[in-house]
Amino acid sequence: MIVTIDGVAASGKSSVSSGVAQALGVPYVSSGLLYRAVTLLGLTAGADLADASALLPLLPGVRLEPLASGNRVWNADHDLTADLHSTRVDGGVSTVAALPEIREWVDAQLRALPDPLVAEGRDMGTNVFPHAPHKFYLTASPRVRAERRAKERPEDIPAIEAALTERDRLDTTQSAPAPDARVIDTGPLTLQGVIDTILADLR
Residues within the interface to ligand ADP (CB under 6 A)? 7, 10-16, 148-149, 152, 186, 189-191, 194
| Nearer of residues 13 and 134 to ligand CDP, judged by Cβ | 13
Q: How far is the CB of 126 from ligand ADP (least distance, A)?
A: 17
| Nearer of residues 19 and 42 to ligand ADP, judged by Cβ | 19
Measured distance between the N- and C-terminal CA atoms of the chain, rounded to whole angstroms:
13
| Nearer of residues 18 and 94 to ligand CDP, judged by Cβ | 94
Please tell me whether residue 35 binds ligand CDP under the rule CB under 6 A.
yes
Please tell me whether residue 10 binds ligand CDP under the rule CB under 6 A.
yes
Which of 47, 49, 54 has the alpha carbon at shortest distance from 95?
Answer: 49
What is the C-alpha separation between 160 and 147, in angstroms, rounded? 8
Instruction: Choose, by CB under 6 A, the member of 4, 15, 18, 31 that binds ligand CDP.
Output: 31
CB atoms within 10 A of CB 79: 11
HEC secondary structure over 31-66: HHHHHHHHHHHHHHHCCCCCCHHHHHHHCCCEEEEC
18 labelled binding-site residue = no
Partner whose footprint covers residue 35, from ligand ADP, ligand CDP, none (CB < 5 to 8 Å by kind) = ligand CDP
User: To which H or E segment does residue 134 belong?
Assistant: strand 134-139
Partner whose footprint covers residue 171, from ligand CDP, ligand ADP, none (CB < 5 to 8 Å by kind) = ligand CDP
7 labelled binding-site residue = yes
**Contact status, residue 6 vs residue 13, Cβ threshold 8 Å:** yes
- Specify binding-site residues for ATP: 7-15
